[in-house]
């Protein structure tokens, strides 16, 4: 079950990107987070096609600001197209580890 802060962020993402797969990982997925722990999310969407990797998270952060969503902790977003995600899930690294411990929301 996701906490209130995570739920508010995910709600904005799902409204902005209805096709998005969202994976929560890190301490909030494990359930051992502190009140000030960051929110780690992988967001996969076809809408990211043609948008530079470094600009994708900014689009979501701007949407959170526009909607007035303030969670009081850092939100770490790793945004991939479906093709990039499939490549990354096979590699040893962040995505593979996140999928092992993470929760799809």
Task: State which residues form the domain around 23.
Answer: 4-104
Residue 104 has pLDDT above 70, yes or no: yes
Q: Is the pTM of this model over 0.75?
A: yes
In tens, the pLDDT along 1-50 reads: 678 999 999 999 999 999 999 999 999 999 899 889 999 999 999 999 99
Specify the number of domains making up the chain.
1
Mean pLDDT throughout 51-75? 91
Q: Alpha carbon of 99 to those of 37, 52, 58, 61, 67: distances in Å? A: 19, 23, 23, 23, 29
Tell me, what CATH number does 80's domain have?
3.30.300.90
Locate 42 and state its tokens: 């992988």
| DSSP single-letter state for residue 3 | -
């Amino acid at each position: 079950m996701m906490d209130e802060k995570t739920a508010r962020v995910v709600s904005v993402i799902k409204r902005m990107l209805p096709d998005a797969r969202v994976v929560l990982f890190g301490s909030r997925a494990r359930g051992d987070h502190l009140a000030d722990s960051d929110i780690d999310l992988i967001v996969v969407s076809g809408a990211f096609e043609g948008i530079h990797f470094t600009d994708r998270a900014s689009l979501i952060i701007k949407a959170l600001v526009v909607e007035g969503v303030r969670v009081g902790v850092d939100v770490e977003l790793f945004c991939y197209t479906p093709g990039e995600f499939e490549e990354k899930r096979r590699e040893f690294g962040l995505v593979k580890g996140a999928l092992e411990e993470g929760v799809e929301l």
